[in-house]
Amino acid sequence: MQKAALLDVNGKWTNKYANDIKLAGVTVDQFPEVANRKYLASYVGKHPAGVTYYFWDGRVKQCTFTPEGELLNAFWWAKDFLNRNTSLWSDVDFSAGSDPHFESHSDPRNKVAQ
C-alpha cells in the first residue's frame, strides 16, 4: 500500500491539495461505510476513512484510507458527474479550498438552490 502524507506529527489529517488554487473544498468521512462495529472503532481518533477533493473545474478525486493513513484507493470521478449532480456541492467544506469566501468563484451551492 502507498503511504499517504496526510497525517502530521500530532496525528491530525492535513489537506494534500491545500495549496492548489483549483481546489474548491473537501468532504471528510471519518468512518467507512461498513456495519462492523469493531472495524468502525479502529477509526476513532485516527485518519479519516474517506476524503473527497472537489475542484473548481468540476473534477472530483475520491480517496479511501486505512486508520493509519495508508492510501487504499483513489480515483477521479467523470468530469461531468458533478455538473449532473450539483446537490453534492451542499456537503463540501469550502474552508479547506482556495477561495472559501467566493471572492474569485461563484458559490456552486447557489446552483443547487435554483
**DSSP secondary structure string for all residues of 29-67:** ESS-S---HHHHHTTTTS--SEEEEEETTS-EEEEEE-T
| Any domain includes 84 | yes
pLDDT of residue 3: 37
The three grid cell numbers given for residue 76, joined into one nine-digit string: 477521479
| Any domain includes 12 | no
pLDDT at 96 over 60: yes
| Any domain includes 30 | yes
| Any domain includes 14 | no
| Any domain includes 46 | yes
Instruction: Report the distance separating Cα 77 and Cα 16, nearest Å.
Output: 18
Instruction: Report the distance separating Cα 72 and Cα 65, nearest Å.
Output: 5
pLDDT at 46 over 90: no
DSSP H or E segment with residue 25: strand 23-29
Range of the domain at 91: 2-7+20-98
pTM here is 0.83
Total count of domains within the chain: 1
| Any domain includes 112 | no
pLDDT of residue 24: 94
